Amino acid sequence: MIILKVYVCLPVFNGYDLLDIALTSAENGTLKPDGYYVANNGLEDWVHPDKVIADKTIIYNSGQNLGCSKSWNLFIKDVPQIRIIINNDIEFHSYTIENLVKAYNENQDCAIVASEYNSIGSDETFSCFILTDKGIEEVGLFDEGFTPAYYEDCDYQRRCLLKDMKIIHAPNTGYFHHHCATTHRFTPEQLQSHYSATHKNSVYYVEKWGGMPREETFIYPFNKKPE
């Protein structure tokens, strides 16, 4: 029997204090990760204040904002299974990682095993998730045309649906989420750039799928059937 190692992976643009909290909560759980991978997309130098966590952490300093899709794809390509990909602004409960890994081991035929929805009932599939090997094989990587963030998750859900690949929300895997922690720290210039990028990504989504999320009309990307 092959025992897979567990890694927590996340991109960060700002909110390094929340990043410290996220990794500390992971380390304090009933199942401790074997390591951490951080795509440092901001300009601030960062090392976790806890030496144990710092020694287990690999940091990608790109010197630019790779965004979600590129960061997530980097983890998928570079990090051995099991990769728990999270936002930098979540805080694990003690049982979250152990139950999430258990659900992953029991659901190898689905595309994604994600934490259950939080208490406000919003869809937070891509705030804390594991992409399975079968998901990668059948659905592929994230579309890096969505940059730096937004709509890459909707795109992946659409592609899972068209491949009839399930997304599982595992029970008893909740966490605390510091909502919108990144955007709340934007400067006015960064906020304007954020709105422009969100609009650009929405236009790209419509071009790719013939409508906004849940209003799509294409079954092939850009309405082009593969040859």
Q: What is the pLDDT of residues 145-169, one digit of tens each?
A: 999 999 999 999 999 999 999 999 9
* Whether pLDDT at 189 is above 80: no
- pLDDT more than 90, % of the chain: 78
Spell out the SS3 assignment of 74-122: HHHHHCCCCEEEECCCEEECCCHHHHHHHHHHHCCCCCEEEECCCCCCC
What's the chain's average pLDDT? 92
Q: Which residue has the higher pLDDT, 189 or 92?
A: 92
CATH of domain 7-223: 3.90.550.10
Domain boundaries, the chain: 7-223
The H-assigned helical ranges of the chain are: 16-27, 51-55, 67-78, 96-106, 133-139, 152-162, 188-209
Task: Say how far apart CA 94 and CA 62 lie, in whole Å.
Answer: 32
- Which residue's entry shows tokens 């960062």? 46
- pLDDT more than 70, % of the chain: 92
Give the pLDDT of residue 183.
Answer: 65
Q: Is 68 exposed, middle or buried (0-12, 13-18, 19+ CB in 10 A)?
A: buried
Interval 63-90: pLDDT, tens: 889 999 999 999 999 998 899 999 999 9
**Mean pLDDT of all residues in 121-130:** 85
* Whether pLDDT at 98 is above 90: yes
* Whether pLDDT at 24 is above 70: yes
Give the pLDDT of residue 27.
Answer: 98
Q: Is the pTM higher than 0.75?
A: yes
